[in-house]
Chains A and B, each alone.
Chain A
């Protein structure tokens, strides 16, 4: 692949943020056969790549995440989404590992997506709703382009939660000899009817916003922010457990309402304003077409799909060591779905560890303070490092 002159430059964006980006003019051929060219990949790295390029860990972000896994996010100025996990002296120790996180294909934080300018036509314009349907495998193949560019032959680990976990599993299946270990967290090998149903409600909320304009909202300088906010509010509920919501809000009323009569409109309960806050925060940073594109990719995900529905066949080529982690109160990707993965991996004789972290915080718990999760991730990495040393010693 020919890489453009712009390679490895740090691009200035219209938001004046510094985004690390690489541009690959030849682009990528999607699973659907369509080509996206040129392809921009936005990424963030932490730590140093070792001399033998054997200490790289790829972290895959979830649906609405981004590449700012650690440190301070340049837009929100808040800590990265996994800054408790990734950093110097933390479970994923950047003193030891070269941590890579890329913004996924189809997203809106720098990697080519619906908000990017389409250059393969005579008059360049935004991809918008014309952005082709993508798959989790396409996201993985995009990451692979970057990994190959850096000359990393084998990733020490691929780690991801939720949609990131799907990518981690896809890596193990698509590139079995290039991934030493895989850690899928709070995820599934397929998107269930219930998962798809939730996503569809979100998409319909976006489509029903008058500002959606068939996905061409960018032409008119508007955004379907109400629809997108509703989609986010609904999705956010699925990320939390009933216990977590009850503990945080219960039936607490808004301060201003105490002692007054029952309102129909406006916020009545504190949980409502919390959701409104989540929704409005989200629309400021996320693109509606990206949301639709990526939720579709998740819906389409089923590792067994190209193997007659047999997950065992899909896992037949894997060589990686696995650490599957589920969260006890996750009802979006419950532990039973992790067990399906573990059982299929056992059937092919893969080396697999499996832990269910006891928590009442729901699906989002992998982003929060969970000492047992830290212990598991750190322990697994230390363990496979030792095993690799023993293997190298033996050979």
Chain B
């Protein structure tokens, strides 16, 4: 499981009901169902992943975060997870609203565009940054709405979503507890993870 997914599991109480949007190969819901006694389901855009997930016995539907969340009932889930997908949806603000309508909590992880290496690449090379997380040329990337941690905090303030917990994590290493301030985390954190409540 990816590091951000391990951190997500830590945020989820056992026996909860979870919807994982953009569940990929289903490793998070697989873990939540089998080892965390959760009722977890997924939505995934890529049919190859969906087929793989259902073939493994995981409850996953092929669908799109931008359109399909409206079909889920209000308060249908304890947690709605969006890991590394926010930057790739068409309407991030609306997707967040839907997540907090159908779930009591929303867990959002995204690659932080405010990381110093990205800032440096843009500043010194004058080109769109490329790192392990942002590993594609600007014309190939599915990411259409990259944001920084500060941007995300701002969106939550505007929308009135309460930030219950947040953390900045590195791709390789462990979570860095010394990053207590969003501005510093925004500079040093490669990935961001937020637990939101209505």
Contact = CB atoms under 8 A, between A and B. Distances in A.
Interface string B49-62: 01101111111111
B62 A356 contact: yes
A376 B63 CA distance: 17
A230 B150 CA distance: 68
A321, A343, A355, A387 pick with most chain B CB within 10 angstroms: A355
Interface residues of A, number: 31
A375 B34 CA distance: 20
Interface residues on B, range: 20 to 34
B118 to A, nearest CB: 36
Contacts of B60: 353-354
Contacts of B72: 346-347, 349
B57 A380 contact: yes
Given A347-B71, A347-B72, A375 B61 contact: no
Nearest to A382: B57
B62 A379 contact: no
B47 interface: yes
Nearest to A386: B57
Interface string A368-395: 0000100110111011101100100010
A198 B77 CA distance: 42
Contacts of B54: 323, 353, 355, 376, 379-380, 383
Interface string A338-369: 00001110111101111111100000000000
B73 interface: yes
B71 A346 contact: yes
B101 interface: no
B53, B60, B62, B76 pick with most chain A CB within 10 angstroms: B62
23 contacts: A321-B59, A323-B54, A343-B71, A346-B71, A349-B72, A351-B59, A352-B41, A352-B59, A352-B61, A353-B59, A354-B61, A355-B62, A356-B47, A372-B51, A376-B51, A378-B55, A379-B54, A379-B57, A380-B54, A383-B56, A383-B59, A386-B34, A386-B57
Given A354-B63, A355-B51, 16 more contacts: A342-B61, A343-B68, A346-B71, A347-B71, A349-B73, A349-B76, A351-B41, A352-B41, A352-B59, A353-B54, A354-B60, A372-B55, A375-B55, A376-B54, A379-B55, A387-B33
Interface of A: 321, 323-324, 342-344, 346-349, 351-358, 372, 375-376, 378-380, 382-384, 386-387, 390, 394
